[in-house]
Amino acid sequence: MISQLKAVIFDIDGTLTFTNQLIFDSFNHIAEKYLNKKFSDEEIIALFGPTEDVILKQMFPDKFEEVRNDYYEYYHQNHRIAQLYDGIKELLIDLKKAGMILGIFTGKGRTSSLITLNFLGIRDLFDMIVTGDDVKNHKPSPEGIIKFIKTFNLKPEEVLMIGDAPSDIKAAREAGVHIASVVWDSYSAEEVKKLNKETVFETVDQLRKFIFEKGNGN
């Protein structure tokens, strides 16, 4: 199916790393400190779409800078709870060795994206990083994927998008690229499975076999 594969784009949260709990904790850190309340995971998930900066500015218009600094300090200081999934770094290295162009397309803002990629020691493996701060239209808009395709002069059929959310599936399909859905830490696994019935993976090893076997035309 993807024998022409030349590039792979990854989402970050729930795809490369266990960052979902860190995000929930970071939002609740500021909620408890500034609002004296705690959000449920579902309430925080409902906020997703805009970047953290946009969400925080909407929540704390009068204290934005103070709250923003607090949020990212907590996110950075507690990042030890968010590690790479087993086998991800090896997969990224092997993709690079195979000559693949690697990209990031995430709804996270650039600040948190770089904190995560640097902390996990994988930033330098990516040829292009597109965050929520780098697009006008967030996922499920395909803007970030299209930006990647144009930058490297690729054809859509040469690109694979890997993500854990329904928005990744929708963005990939609108851009005309291949999609691989991973559900090893997806907060919307059931919806993902309904939208994508063909290329859903429970483990990194399953994903690896799909990429390299299909990518080699076997």
CA distances from 82 to 15, 190, 212 (A): 12, 23, 27
Cβ atoms of residues 217 and 3 within 8 Å: yes
> Pick the catalytic residue: 11, 53, 164, 168?
11
Cβ atoms of residues 168 and 141 within 8 Å: no
Q: Per 3-state DSSP, what percentage of the chain is helix, strand, and coil (rounded to 5)?
A: 50, 10, 35
Bridge partners (DSSP) of residue 181 are 163, 200
Please give the angle made by the CA atoms of 204, 4 and 135, to the nearest 5 degrees. Answer: 70
The pair of structure tokens assigned to 79 is: 């990042």
Helices (H) and strands (E) in the chain, counts: 10, 6
62 included as an active-site residue: no
Rounded CA separation 165/15 (Å): 9
Strands of the sheet with 200-201, listed across from one edge: 128-130, 101-105, 7-10, 159-163, 178-182, 200-201
Q: Which residue numbers are catalytic?
A: 11
